[in-house]
Amino acid sequence: MAKDKTFEKQNVLNGAMVLVVATALVKIIGAIYKIPLTGIIGSLGRGYFASAYNIYTPVYAISMAGLPVAVSAIVSKNVALGKYRDVKQVFKVTFPLFLGLGVVGTALLMGIAKYYSFSIIDSPLSVYSIYCIAPCVLFCCIMSTYRGYYEGLNNMYPTAISQVLESLGKLVFGLSLAYVVLGYATKQVETTGAVFGIEVKNEADAAIVYALAAAAAVFGVTLGTVMGTVYVVIKHHLRKNSDGITQEMLVNSPLAQSKKSTMKDIIAIAVPTAISSLVLNVTNFIDTAMIQNRLSAVVNGNYDTIMKLYGDSITSGGIVRENIHTFLYGAYDTTLDFKNLVPTVMMTLGVSAIPVISSAMAKKDFKLVGDTVNTVFRTTMLIALPAGAGFFVLAEPILTLLYKGSENESGIAVAAPVLALYGLMMAILTFSSPLTNILQAIGRADVPAKSLALGCIIKIGLNYLLIGIPEINVKGAVFGTGFFYLFCIFYDYAYLKKETKIKLDLKRGLVKPLIASVACGAAAWGSFKAVSTYIVFGSADSRLNGYTLACIISIIIAVIVYAVCILISKTIVKDDILMLPKGEKIAEILEKYKLLG
């Protein structure tokens, strides 16, 4: 059957580019949100904020994590075979399923909020943030129905636009509500000694102010999710043929299989995919409880050692002994904004690869499968390696640039070595997710579920042992995370190679970007040392000084050095350039000077 031009195959990078731009905007908005938010509520408030997020994500995974992947894979397969009635049927089957799971997920989160806060993480004030984030599960499930459907059609715009709207809502509502609530709660405590009927008797009780501000910020996240949901619903239902499937295409399409068969196809992919996501998020959930509990034990049993390591930060932050473990965890969580930055952006490669690989597998085009896998690998390394080098050598300058003079300034000394360690592991952290998506697209969603389950055991064991060592403390979580992802990558790739006979191009995909990244890191470190030594101006207590300028200049120099190294080594191929705006003209210039591989 002739196929409508609407559904002509996209290069994986074309689809990824749409999501990369959207994700970059989301991350910029997220930085605009979280950086001032952390400045407003400090590391203590950030601890409450993180506690809510880390219980929300595993419940979110149970509710819907596997379904968008299943929808995308099945829709793209049916499109490749011209089965447009089946495409429509997938949406009809999944929407009520998503809706029901969203209701159950929200109810579950509300139900366990109190027990989790009081008994699991020993942070009772976190309960307010958990109540405020619970409705997110429902709206995310509804929104993901539409996202998975359009991603399967190789239309990444609905996902991209809804993500941006979601982030904008979070930014506007989250910051506004946090600022207003913090101001109101502080004033109430100062004038009446209580806030919302809760009496504040001492400095430890005063933490309620930051807990309420964190809850307000989390509620802004929920409102942002509502905005994204409203957009995709309106786009799909109020615009005729928004999915590009015409009446003629439906008439000429074979009859759809039964709803029961469609449900079986969805479950075959969704269940192992959901298990993979669930294991990963439950691991993070266990991390939240374990890190705080182990830190609490370390502080109580080795108080002098902790004060020797972080005494200046704890004192300058005005942190009482009972809250030191939450303070340390909040500082650690601050680094996750940077640690997750590159993996989140590059996750879009995996999402974009699902319909391309699924379609290629349906048509038994194994060459396209291999080319797509190597494109994902090479592009991941091109971005992750230099970013990691930058975080490794400039961890403290970057944190100082962003948090100097804020409530979170006292946490910089705690967070800097953690961020540097995550920089070393950036490539490992980044490639794991696209590799999982590739296995899901070839029909082996069970493999990541197994590797994550085994890796989880390793991570939990290492975290327990290493965090319990006073001299290592919170940095132990970083080592546990690194070994966890490294194990998963080796396990998953072994199965991918076995199933498809695909071999990664290590020379172009790993070795060349690694050499360029080492040069990038060296340039960043050397230029920062030189500029910060010779350009001195402004107050040390301000962000507008020579130190800040040195950080910015060193980043620019590092980017230039990396770009030159990549071009000279001919690491980039023509397809990489064609996905960029004016890509054809850029490619012509680079080909003229023989700079493309």
Q: Is 590 exposed, middle or buried (0-12, 13-18, 19+ CB in 10 A)?
A: middle
pTM over cut 0.75: no
List, for the chain, all residue ranges whose pLDDT scores fall below the cut of 70.
1-16, 58-66, 203-204, 406-407, 538-543, 575-584, 593, 597
| Count of all residues that appear for the chain in the document | 597
CB within 8 A of 522, min separation 6: which ones? none
Tell me the pLDDT tens digit for each residue of 203-261: 667 788 888 889 999 999 899 999 999 999 998 887 777 777 878 888 888 888 888 88
Q: Any bridge partners for residue 199, and if so which?
A: 194
Q: What is the pLDDT of residue 62?
A: 59
Tell me the pLDDT tens digit for each residue of 467-476: 989 998 889 9
Q: What is the pLDDT of residue 1?
A: 37
Q: Is 199 helix (H, G, I), strand (E, B) or coil?
A: strand
Q: What is the pLDDT of residue 10?
A: 41
What residue ranges do the domains of the chain occupy? 12-504
CA-closest candidate to residue 221, choices 159, 174, 181, 162: 174
Measured distance CA(341)–CA(387) in Å, rounded: 10
Q: What is the pLDDT of residue 5?
A: 38
Q: What is the pLDDT of residue 273?
A: 76
- C-alpha to C-alpha distances, 504 to 207, 354, 417, 479, 485, nearest whole angstrom: 51, 18, 32, 26, 18
- The answer to whether 468 and 306 have CB atoms below 8 angstroms apart is no
- The answer to whether 453 and 279 have CB atoms below 8 angstroms apart is yes
HSE toward the beta carbon, residue 491, CA cutoff 13 A:
19
Q: Which residues of 457-482 are buried (b: 16+ CB within 10 A; e: fewer)?
A: eebbebbbebbbebebbbbbbbbbbb
CA-closest candidate to residue 40, choices 169, 185, 165, 168: 185
Q: What is the pLDDT of residue 423?
A: 95
Measured distance CA(576)–CA(384) in Å, rounded: 16
